[in-house]
Structure 1
Amino acid sequence: MIRVLVIRLSSLGDIILTTPVIQALRQSFTDLTINYLVHERFGPLVDHFDPPPDNVILFPPVVGAAELPAFARSLAQADYDLVIDLHNSLRSKVIRRYFPTAELRIYKKPRFKRWLLFYLWLNRFDPEFSVVSEYLRYAEFSALEGEHCPRLFFDIDAAREICQRFGLDQGYLVCVPGAAWPQKSWPKERYIEMFSQRLPSSSEQLVLLGGPQDTICDYIAAALQPGKVVNLKGETGLQEALAVLSRSRLVVGSNTGLVHAGEALGIPAVMILGPTSRETGARTHHPDSRVHEVKLWCRPCSQNGRRRCYRRKQYCLIGISVHQVAESVTSLIGQT
């Protein structure tokens, strides 16, 4: 029996992109146990991996620098044969020091290439760069046959029950307009214009997903036709959001974790990219998904959209028209 520990503590989208490594482990070994270490707030997500790990180990939010060694020692009691660190953060580096006899496979972040790209505008990335491919390469599974895409599952009956609590039937459109950093969000006026044109002439519902801080959802909901919009901003936990996504026809939004989750659940996406790009891990994986982005000398400018735009206007987002995005939405809705 081979005992494997996979480490990726955060964040939502990055954790989803590790699912092909679990697929590769199952494909490569017949007799193994996979434990997955993740931050406590993302534990419900790992339960929906397809295929799932055998056990999910939750990293408590209260573990600081003083408590980390004791936590790592408790992990080491499992005597793992293989530790795959797909985070390579300060905390994961400390943790893996407590596995001296285990084989270590460590994801190397392309920090220097990204620095060149963000600050000198020199792109040294392969045109086909993919974070999923990098995870597989450093986990030493890149030679495996077949395409490994992020995959999640959600029980059909459980999803139906959750959606019924929100008054949702199957076949609605989901929009995730917010983002962890406001620089990644397409302007609210453009979402309003697009849905104002679309919703009155269709029978579909629009569902807005976001956290309590995503006030953009409130602006959009207030501007649209009553009865056509269900604003679930701050109303869902991660489990409920996954259920809502799993029964939708399409998800529209920025490079955010819930858009990646929708794709991994088999739902096509229309992804609107501003300050992030393929080189930062922002890309789609569903074969029917569409990406909208503008080629600019200043883009991408940061890994996750945290950096404030240093130009007069944020051209990477205002350069994406309502017509372009609406055309993709109409086309994909027609296919589903």
Structure 2
Amino acid sequence: MNNHNKILVIRFSSIGDIVITTSFLKTIKIKYNNPEIHFLTLDKFSSILHLQPDINRIIELSSDSTIKNLFELNEYIKSSNYDIIYDLHGSIRSRISTIGLSEITLRVKKPRFLRFLLFQLHLNLFPKDYSAIIMYHKCIDDYDKRTIPKTKLQVSSTELQSVRSLLEDNGVSDKFIVMVPGAAWPQKQWNTNKYIHLINEIEIKTKKIIVMLGTINDKVCAKISSINNNVIDLSGKTDIRQAMAIISLAETVFGSDTGLLHIAEALDKKVTMILGPTSRETGGGVSLKDSINIETNVWCRPCSQNGKQKCYRSSQYCMDFISPNEVASSVIERL
């Protein structure tokens, strides 16, 4: 494997994990002297990577793909003559896609046993500097922790112009802050009343407009919007590329441990991330030195890799112990 002129990188989901791989892409782009890099991901996430400067081609797999489709994909990959394949997902789907290609495939080694100890016994044996970015980089033998690149995404001038019009139509013509309160799982979402307190404090102290982003399924956004009319609620009103463009125009971004906050960092925005059941050991948390995780040191967290597991305690203390004042101070510091 001396020649690495054509490389395939595989990561099917989810948004945050895909964004984090862009650091790895820059590393191999430099290491192998500007190789041709193809990126295989699910179709519903592929637009995130449009204009990503280190990707030469995006290969989309349908989210509804069957086993037959995966074997067809495997044949396509075999015929594409890659010099090396980096499987950064390590799933059944990615393993089927790379059957017969073990000689050129390097697969991410997920810390499953360490996570078992952490979730079940609350025994944390992770290295202090552990992160998902480092986990991916361990696929490269001689990577240097001191020179790991930042994540990187891009939006076009046309996209920026379009969302400026959208923002103006919604009364936003000045500098603003983006809030992302929703998350894939309810356990990762902070209490609505705490958000209301937080919003009021930010508005009083900064006089800044807050733009709220999310999906149409984020009920917390609707609740916040019904209580505070000053928040510009664009949840469910943008696609992912529009949301990215709006974020790129914001002064700072705050909210849940969710994909849009990882996107914000990849667009070089300072982030305040509210962490409850997840942590850096689960793949969550911020990556920029000027961003910050707001979290509590309770014995039961983290309790699951993605925050899906329902809290078994009488109250979700990992979220309840986080104060609006603490989050507000962090957001204001990052303006």
Question: Where does residue 299 of structure 2 map in the other structure?
Answer: 297
Distance apart, 1:77 and its partner CA? 1.2
Q: Residue 46 in 1 paired to residue 45 in 2?
A: no
Question: Where does residue 193 of structure 1 map in the other structure?
Answer: 197
Work out whether residues 38 and 56 of structure 2, in 8 Å CA contact, stay in contact via their aligned partners in 1: yes
Give the distance between the partners of 2:299 and 2:255, measured in 1 at CA: 23
Question: Where does residue 135 of structure 1 map in the other structure?
Answer: 136
Give the distance between the partners of 2:68 and 2:147, measured in 1 at CA: 44
Deviations 1:88-125 (A, max 9, x none): 0000001111435x521110110110011001111110
Work out whether residues 254 and 272 of structure 1, in 8 Å CA contact, stay in contact via their aligned partners in 2: yes
In structure 2, stretches of 5+ residues that fail to align are none
1:90-105 matches, within 5 Å, as 90-99=92-101, 102-105=103-106
Deviations 1:147-206 (A, max 9, x none): 322111222453132231232445211110010000001101000011123325643211
Distance apart, 1:301 and its partner CA? 0.2
Give the distance between the partners of 2:315 and 2:51, measured in 1 at CA: 40
**Identity rate, percent:** 34
Work out whether residues 286 and 293 of structure 2, in 8 Å CA contact, stay in contact via their aligned partners in 1: yes
Distance apart, 1:30 and its partner CA? 2.3
Give the distance between the partners of 1:321 and 1:281, measured in 2 at CA: 24
Distance apart, 1:290 and its partner CA? 1.8
- Which of structure 1's runs of 4+ aligned residues deviate more than 4 A? none
Give the distance between the partners of 2:113 and 2:77, measured in 1 at CA: 32
Question: Where does residue 241 of structure 1 map in the other structure?
Answer: 243
Question: Where does residue 165 of structure 2 map in the other structure?
Answer: 164
Question: Where does residue 180 of structure 1 map in the other structure?
Answer: 184
Distance apart, 1:17 and its partner CA? 0.7
Work out whether residues 13 and 257 of structure 1, in 8 Å CA contact, stay in contact via their aligned partners in 2: yes
Question: Where does residue 35 of structure 1 map in the other structure?
Answer: 38
In structure 1, stretches of 5+ residues that fail to align are none
Give the distance between the partners of 1:190 and 1:70, measured in 2 at CA: 49
1:300-311 matches, within 5 Å, as 300-311=302-313
**Counterpart residue type for residue 42 of structure 1:** F
For normalisation by structure 1, the TM-score amounts to: 0.93
Q: Is 304-313 or 140-149 further displaced after alignment? A: 140-149
Give the distance between the partners of 1:170 and 1:281, measured in 2 at CA: 34
Question: Where does residue 207 of structure 1 map in the other structure?
Answer: 211
Work out whether residues 83 and 104 of structure 1, in 8 Å CA contact, stay in contact via their aligned partners in 2: yes
**Aligned Cα RMSD in Å?**
1.7
Give the distance between the partners of 2:134 and 2:290, measured in 1 at CA: 20
**Counterpart residue type for residue 264 of structure 2:** G
Question: Where does residue 322 of structure 1 map in the other structure?
Answer: 324
Question: Where does residue 156 of structure 2 map in the other structure?
Answer: 155
1:246-265 matches, within 5 Å, as 246-265=248-267
Distance apart, 1:52 and its partner CA? 2.8
Between the two proteins, the alignment pairs up a number of residues equal to 329
Please state whether the residue corresponding to 1:291 is helix, strand or coil: strand
Q: Is 62-71 or 258-267 further displaced after alignment? A: 62-71
Distance apart, 1:285 and its partner CA? 1.6
Please state whether the residue corresponding to 2:124 is helix, strand or coil: coil
Please state whether the residue corresponding to 1:17 is helix, strand or coil: helix
Q: Residue 9 in 1 paired to residue 12 in 2?
A: yes
Work out whether residues 113 and 123 of structure 1, in 8 Å CA contact, stay in contact via their aligned partners in 2: yes
Give the distance between the partners of 1:201 and 1:20, measured in 2 at CA: 35
